């Protein structure tokens, strides 16, 4: 986990966004990067955020950095179990 990326992405309300994103991703179709994008977009919209702002905390929670490979394809390759586990770990860190 890159601490500078963590600090940059994890703003006030990131915990609520991550919980919603986790819920949406858990219900998503993991055979399609587009479905994962729609899940994160729906989570962002639920919190009044556009996709760019919504995906930043998800990217850092899952990849540990603010920049990297395309997020939704990365989630698809990483898989549902690992992605959700990493979001859970980020939520635990935010709660600490």
* Distance (Å, whole) CA 50 – CA 32: 21
What integer pLDDT is reported at residue 12 of this predicted model? 86
Q: How many C-beta atoms surround the C-beta of residue 45 within 10 A?
A: 13
pLDDT in tens, 71-89: 999 999 999 999 999 999 9
Judge whether residue 25 has pLDDT over 90: yes
Assign 39 to helix, strand or coil: helix
Walk me through the domains of the chain, giving residue ranges and CATH numbers. Answer: 3-95 (1.10.10.350)
Closest CA to 7 of 71, 65, 55: 65
pLDDT in tens, 48-58: 999 988 999 99
What integer pLDDT is reported at residue 48 of this predicted model? 93
Judge whether residue 11 has pLDDT over 90: no
Assign 62 to helix, strand or coil: helix
Judge whether residue 2 has pLDDT over 90: no
């Amino acid at each position: 986990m890159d601490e500078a990326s963590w600090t940059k992405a994890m703003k006030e309300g990131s915990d609520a966004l991550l919980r919603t994103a986790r819920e949406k991703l858990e219900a998503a179709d993991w055979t399609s990067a587009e479905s994962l994008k729609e899940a994160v977009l729906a989570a962002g919209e639920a919190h009044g955020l556009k996709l760019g702002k919504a995906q930043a905390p998800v990217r850092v929670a899952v990849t540990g950095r603010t920049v990297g490979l395309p997020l939704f394809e990365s989630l698809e390759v990483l898989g549902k179990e690992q992605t959700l586990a990493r979001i859970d770990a980020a939520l635990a860190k935010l709660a600490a």
